[in-house]
Structure 1
Amino acid sequence: MSGPEHEALESGVEGSGVEELAPDAVGAWVRGVDYVAGWRQATGALAELADALAAAGLEEPGVRLRAGAEDDGAGVVRLELTVSAARRMAKLAEVAAPHFGRAS
């Protein structure tokens, strides 16, 4: 993805990480775009997702969450998984699918 990525909070599911905006991780700033608000929303969503993943047993080193902001300032949470963590998450999604009206 392109654009300013405020990698302000990088963490494993455990929730450790840096809790400040990292301006040197930005590709280009656009005047008038509120990247901080999007980043703050993303950090909140990241915390919720980290808690849910930990509750589901996916709190291994192979799970990495990063909060950032897109070109337009919208918050974004990026999820990176090792192969084994991706397979475990796929199983969790299969189990959860019927609860959300999705058939496998």
Structure 2
Amino acid sequence: MFGPEDGAFGIGSEFDPDAVLWVRGVDYVGGWRDAKDATAELSAALVRAGVDIDGASVVAQTRADGSGVARLVWPAELVRAVAELVRRGTHLGEAG
């Protein structure tokens, strides 16, 4: 969805490895990669559905256990558009 080169990770924010606790044997990179891939999938699906994702930002992170987390910062209009998309999708699957 976003990468370091597009500014979605915050201008001037640099990763500080001393600011986090690292646990030996936990695959943090794998979790981060999973979160990054998931956000790319979400972005592609929203674009295919015709949702304007301009102004959206996301940060791929990991939890202490190494699982991936995506922190989404979306404008209210985007949240409403996704909510409407979900409502319409839910109605499509209902027996009528």
Same fold by TM-score greater than 0.5: yes
Whether 1:30 and 2:16 are equivalent positions in the alignment is no
Give the number of equivalent residue pairs: 85
Which of the two has higher C-alpha Rg?
Answer: 2
Structure 1 letter corresponding to 2:23: V
More helix by share: 2
1:41 aligned to 17, 20, 34, which one?
Answer: 34
- Residue identity (%): 40
Tell me the residue number matched to 1:68: 61
Flag as ranges the 4+ runs of structure 1 deviating above 3 A.
none
Tell me the residue number matched to 1:17: 3
Contact 2:35–2:61 (CA under 8 A) maintained in structure 1: yes
State how far apart, in whole Å, the 1-side matches of 2:30 and 2:43 are. Answer: 20
TM-score (norm 1): 0.66
Alignment RMSD, CA only?
Answer: 2.4
State how far apart, in whole Å, the 2-side matches of 1:71 and 1:61 are. Answer: 31
TM-score (norm 2): 0.70
State how far apart, in whole Å, the 1-side matches of 2:93 and 2:20 are. Answer: 38
Evaluate the alpha carbon distance shift between residue 58 and residue 27 of structure 1 in structure 2; reply closer, same or farther with a 3 A threshold.
farther
State how far apart, in whole Å, the 2-side matches of 1:96 and 1:58 are. Answer: 14
SS in 1 for 2:16: helix
State how far apart, in whole Å, the 2-side matches of 1:61 and 1:76 are. Answer: 21
Segments of structure 2 that go 5 or more residues without pairing to the other structure are: 6-13
Deviation at 1:80, TM superposition (A): 1.9
Tell me the residue number matched to 1:81: 74
